[in-house]
Amino acid sequence: MQRYLTIGWERLHLDARALATALMPRGPFKGIVAVSRGGLIPAAIVARELDIRLVESVCVVTYQEQAMGEPVVIKAPAVAGDGEGFLVIDDLTDTGTTARVVRGLLPKAHFACVYVKPAGQGLADSYVSAVEQDTWILFPWDTAPQFMPPLVRQEGN
């Protein structure tokens, strides 16, 4: 059974700041490589908190909606070299597919994500929260607030 965990903007911000706090002793870093798209917002928060000005991106496509496909790098990081001194930031390490691709491109980088699932846990050097493998995380950019009628007025009650 698929479970869902909705992460709001405030929680994401707090968790990204917690990640930055955990990363402080590992720095300073030359720059950040944000894994697009999910890692862009956490990377911006971490960059601000660690006072890092150089923010690069890597774009790996693995999901179409909730179905996973073969990973395709559509933009490699141009200035990070082999990753030495760089911090890679992603929102989530799920199965580890994207992390493996990015680690192949940047083998010397420190890989950090906000959330991690068991199948990808060994690929993240740092993370804030672990969630179950069968949990689909709904990030703030995936959802929109909407009116919900009271339970007693919902269909079936």
Encoding tokens for residue 149?
A: 């009628």
Which residue among 51, 91, 125, 134 is the active-site one?
91
Cα angle, residue 96 at apex, residues 119 and 12 outer, rounded to 5°: 90
3-state secondary structure of 150: coil
125 is annotated as an active-site residue: no
Which residue among 94, 125, 134, 142 is the active-site one?
94
Which residue among 82, 90, 125, 134 is the active-site one?
90
Residue 28, preceding peptide bond in cis (omega within 30° of 0): yes
3-state secondary structure of 152: helix
CB 123 within 8 A of CB 100: yes
Q: What are phi and psi of 41, to 5 degrees?
A: -70, -45
82 is annotated as an active-site residue: no
The catalytic site residues sit at: 90-91, 94
